[in-house]
Amino acid sequence: MYHRDMADARYNAAADFYAQGWLDTYDDAASVALLSVLGTVHGLRVLDVACGHGRYTRELARRGASPVLGLDISSEQIARARDIEAAESLGVTYVCSDLASSGEIPDRSFDRVFCGFGLSDVDDLDGALATVSRVLTVGGRFVFCILHPCFPGAEGVSGSWPPDGNYYDERLWFADGSASTLRHQVGANHRTLSTYVNSLIAHGLVIERVSEPEPTGQWALDWPKAATLPVYLAVSCTKV
């Protein structure tokens, strides 16, 4: 059963880990693919959901989006994002709210909704996508990136689903691979590819572009076997 307080506590406990481990750099393969499918945001109204400490939110503002709103269920993550904004203002507003039941954002108020690796953190996918669909303008786009649902794991890299389960085993689980440090702490909700696609369709979010970037750089050198597999999935959808 879903409980907001439990989800809040899960990410509050890892707030320092997020802030120290995920800096404002965007040259990794997944970020490059995600920002590429997003395209230009200059002058557009953008909502970053499951924004954490605001790593991607700030980049959206740097790219000229305005206004930019970051939303996350974790009060500690939002506090860190606000501290960074206070120290070096980019004009970003941060709200602590549950995406799956957030009613304070007006209907049709954003041109883009963005989510960088946050959908597996969301326990209530249907509720979250209902909100995304509601706040997007018709013709607006939802862009997100996740660990590829078909990634089985390799070497020390945990896959998308539990090693004692299988691809069809949809649930929250906590990774144990040596390279999957974050998911040791907060876990991840594994869902099949068809669950994601069908949920998007159900909420009027039509897939327009998909990218499966090949891991590059030091990550690929450190985990060569894992790098031969589908590790990331970036998707752009249009609200109809």
The per-residue pLDDT for range 47-97, each reduced to its tens digit, is 999 999 999 999 999 999 999 999 999 999 999 999 999 999 999 999 999
pLDDT at 177: 77
Find the mean pLDDT for residues 217-222. Answer: 93
Q: Report how many domains make up the chain.
A: 1
Q: In the predicted model, what is the mean pLDDT of residues 146-153?
A: 96
* Whole-number pLDDT of residue 24: 86
| pTM across the whole model | 0.93
What pLDDT, on a 0 to 100 scale, did the predictor assign at position 1? 42
Q: Give the domain extent around 11.
A: 4-147+206-221+231-239
Indicate whether 153 belongs to any domain: no
In this predicted model, what pLDDT tens digit does every residue of 15-39 receive, in sequence order? 776 667 667 899 999 999 999 999 9
Does residue 121 fall inside a structural domain?
A: yes
Over residues 198-227, the mean pLDDT reads 96
Confidence band for 6, pLDDT divided at 50, 70 and 90: low
Q: What HEC string does the chain produce?
A: CCCHHHHHHHHHCCHHHHHHHCCCCCCCHHHHHHHHHHCCCCCCCEEEECCCCCHHHHHHHHCCCCCEEEEECCHHHHHHHHHHHHHCCCCEEEEECCHHHCCCCCCCCEEEEEEECCCCCCCCHHHHHHHHHHHEEEEEEEEEEEECCCCCCECCECCCCCCCCCCCCCEEECCCCCCCHHHHHHCEEECCHHHHHHHHHHCCEEEEEEECCCCCHHHHHHCCCHHHCCCEEEEEEEEC
What local confidence, expressed as pLDDT, does residue 155 receive?
87
Confidence at residue 23, expressed as pLDDT on a 0 to 100 scale: 77
Residue 159 has pLDDT above 50, yes or no: yes
In a domain, 184, yes or no: no
Rg (CA), the chain: 17
Does 24 fall in a domain? yes
Average pLDDT for the chain = 92
Does residue 15 lie within any of the structural domains? yes
| pLDDT value, residue 7 | 60
158 occurs within a structural domain: no
Q: What is the pLDDT of residues 97-134, one digit of tens each?
A: 999 998 889 999 999 999 999 999 999 999 999 999 99
Would residue 142 count as lying in a domain?
yes
Q: CATH no. for residue 97?
A: 3.40.50.150
